[in-house]
Amino acid sequence: MKTLGVRTVSLTEAMGEVSERLRREKSLGDRPVCYLPGNCGRINAVEEWIYNHASEISGTYAFQTLSMGPAEGWERAVAGGVIPVTPFIGGGLRDLVNRGLAKNIRCNLSQVPRLSRGDAWRADVAFAHCSLPDKKGRVTLGLNAGLDYTPVKEARFRVAVVNENVPHWHIGIYTDAETGKSVEVGCAMHLSEFDLVVQIKEELMAHTMVPKESQRAKATMVAEHILDYLLEETEDQCLPHTLQLGIGTIPNAVAELIASKGLSVSGIWSEMFSDGVLQLYKNNQIKGLDGTYLRNKAVVGFVVGSLELYKTMANNPHFAVVPQEYVNNPAEIARNPYMCSINSTLSISLTGEVAAATIGKKLHSDVGGQFDFAYGASLSEGGVSFIALSSTAQLRNGAVESKIVAHHEAGAHHTIGADLPVVVVTERGCADLRYLDDTDRVRAMIRVADPGFRRHLIKEIQKMPALQGIEVMNPRLVTLRNGTRAILRPATPEDITKVDAYIRCLSTDDIGTRYMMTTTVEALTSAARLKERYGDSLDYIDHAAFILEAKEEILGIAHAFAMRNDQGWSEEKEGWYEVAFSRRSDLEGQGIGSYLMDYLLEWGYKEPEVQHFHATTYRQKNPKMRYRFETSDFVSSVNSEDISEVCYDKDMTNPAPSTNNTDRKVA
């Protein structure tokens, strides 16, 4: 191999010279930075040297995007004084980052190359994993080219590690028809731009995404929903979309499904891709690749896949490998009509906050290009951004948890905020969050959540003030007879303190009438009772509670309890609910009872579980309460076991003509 006058040395000699330079920088009071290719472009021989000789470069920052080297090796490097730095956490550094022994710089992938232009992270030494040079002496920067290009170009000292197994990308200059600009592709550098050349023969890292059988089935279901959504934009076999396929089994499953159905796509514009794109390419399902403009190519920054993928791309003019700051630029992404980004996440909230980087409070990954492409696709004419995930995850202990959560834990990294709404897809279907307020977003997300977790998710999200009525009843502003504005809404666990104050405002007579002389204020306001009534049991299926409040004070409360054996009823009656309501003692005659009764009835007509309302009160007390039941078409009868009591019953399967509750759900 001709090195055009650039000094060629062995790896050992190169590492000795690099070590000396890094020690010199440290002696000047600086913290030296050494840049290493990451992802599948990692140089195993260089990393092994660092693991085994870390003490020789102690105090050096080793900067690498997504470390795929062994965690044990990096732990040895840290023990020797090397400090790993990464803007995208990989398996090699995950534990070290969470233990505070490695640095994580949160950064959109489009901005990562910029880090190397500033003084903070400009490399004192940069390694490049290079192809053999062409006849003009140009090498291309391998599997991680798009990410490595700028850091290597900006480095103070550059080492070309030339590996005969690294594919040489097609080098050329294409015009971007959308902007008229000329764009260099191939991420090429001339050997003369390097300070040292090292020749090695090292196997490339292949990383094929082969899911477990259980994961494959769900991934295919998710992919089918995505494809059904995309097919709405076309009447033939050619999708008008340009695809970005992120890392993971679901993006690959989408490509496989498109291939299996004989469809085609308009183009590929992606920060990275894997073997799903290879399958589309081999089947001639990426249209327009023979065009002369940049967007007529499969445009990518780096690749993570099989050796066959790397071989297929080598010197292939159908593929354009470009710097990451270009392919990930949201403005450039947006210039692709019908841009479609498909990315995965670890979890997502009911209001659309994507957390792809953390599991609980632990850092697991990073945003990568997820935000870049979601934003770019949202600006594209006809564009759409999918966040795809299985609705549940199985933990190592065998437990199953929902990946759709009401709220993320404190410390969660929101890789896409709720302010950039996306289309969420699970094996249950699609939830298009665009153009929706939080209430409708939650309803859409509940539909794609696992049915076993829906009740819990609803209960948790109801703790939010603006979402108290979600999947129950919408809040309502009403006017009392004295002109006071009040809000009628479902109760939540957050109301416990106000309920305590409300009960203490009731007169002895009102408490006796409402609770049939069976309790005291102290018992009614005990912490255990309030937690059970307004926290544990408040699910709007077995127990519903509604409040009327004004200026943060409760004026009245209505309840409905399922009459089940486990609720203390000797005879369980399916679909029967005991109902009751009360209002503050000093507000008689303000229409509070009417509002609460109407609201309670409306809920009962809409709730599929409710078949019958039942109530018991005294015959000789609180005539206004009895009047409210009677005018609401409850049928009265004397309690055969206690003639001082009167029972009221109402069939809830057929709304009265006078109500507007004709939208009763079907059980």
pLDDT single digits (tens) 210-221: 777 778 889 999
**Assigned architecture for domain 213-461:** 3-Layer(aba) Sandwich (3.40)
DSSP 8-class letter at 564: -
Place of tokens 């090699």: 92
Per the CB < 8 A criterion, the answer to whether 557 and 502 are in contact is: yes
The pLDDT of 499-509, averaged and rounded, is 86
Count the neighbouring beta carbons within 10 Å of the beta carbon of residue 314.
15
Selected from 3.40.630.30, 3.40.50.720, 3.40.1180.10, 2.40.50.100, the CATH number assigned to the domain covering 467-651 reads 3.40.630.30
Cβ-based neighbours of 232, under 8 Å, separated by 6 or more: none
Residue intervals in the chain for CATH 3.40.1080.20? 213-461
CATH topology of domain 8-200: Glutaconate Coenzyme A-transferase (3.40.1080)
CA-nearest of 543, 654, 667, 658 to 605 is 654
Helix (H) / strand (E) containing 340: strand 339-344
The pLDDT of 132-137, averaged and rounded, is 96
Per residue in 421-435, pLDDT tens? 999 999 999 999 999
Range 44-58 burial, b when 16+ CB lie within 10 A, else e:
bebbebbbebbebbe
pLDDT at 477: 96
Judge whether residue 660 has pLDDT over 90: no
Per residue in 535-555, pLDDT tens? 888 888 889 999 999 999 999
pLDDT at 639: 78
Place of tokens 């009843």: 473
Band the pLDDT of 288: cuts 50, 70, 90: confident
pLDDT at 627: 87
Residue intervals in the chain for CATH 3.40.1080.10? 8-200
Q: What is the mean pLDDT of the chain?
A: 91
**Measured between alpha carbons, how far is 291 from 482 in angstroms, rounded to an integer?**
75
pLDDT at 659: 44
DSSP line for 533-544: IIIIS-SSSSEE
- Is 271 one of the annotated active-site residues of the chain? yes
pLDDT at 307: 97
DSSP 8-class letter at 466: G
Judge whether residue 645 has pLDDT over 90: no
**Measured between alpha carbons, how far is 302 from 147 in angstroms, rounded to an integer?**
7
Per residue in 38-88, pLDDT tens? 999 999 999 999 999 999 999 999 999 999 999 999 999 999 999 999 999
Band the pLDDT of 112: cuts 50, 70, 90: very high
Length of the chain: 667
Cβ-based neighbours of 102, under 8 Å, separated by 6 or more: 74, 78, 83, 84, 85, 86, 93, 96
The mean-pLDDT minimum among 210-219, 294-303, 563-572 falls in: 563-572
Judge whether residue 128 has pLDDT over 70: yes
Per the CB < 8 A criterion, the answer to whether 573 and 627 are in contact is: no
Judge whether residue 33 has pLDDT over 70: yes
Per residue in 514-542, pLDDT tens? 665 556 888 888 898 888 888 888 888 88
pLDDT at 327: 98
The pLDDT of 593-608, averaged and rounded, is 94
Which of the given ranges, 122-136, 485-499, 531-545, has the highest pLDDT on average?
A: 122-136
CA distances from 571 to 542, 564, 565, 574, 604 (A): 16, 7, 7, 10, 21
Percent of the chain with pLDDT over 90: 72
DSSP 8-class letter at 409: P
Residue intervals in the chain for CATH 3.40.630.30? 467-651
Q: Where are the beta strands (DSSP E) in 52-116?
A: 61-63, 83-86, 103-104
- In the set 56, 75, 154, 271, the catalytic residue is 271
- The Cα angle at residue 143 between residues 141 and 144, in degrees rounded to 5: 75
- The Cα angle at residue 180 between residues 175 and 184, in degrees rounded to 5: 35
CA-nearest of 454, 665, 427, 458 to 544 is 458
pLDDT at 464: 84
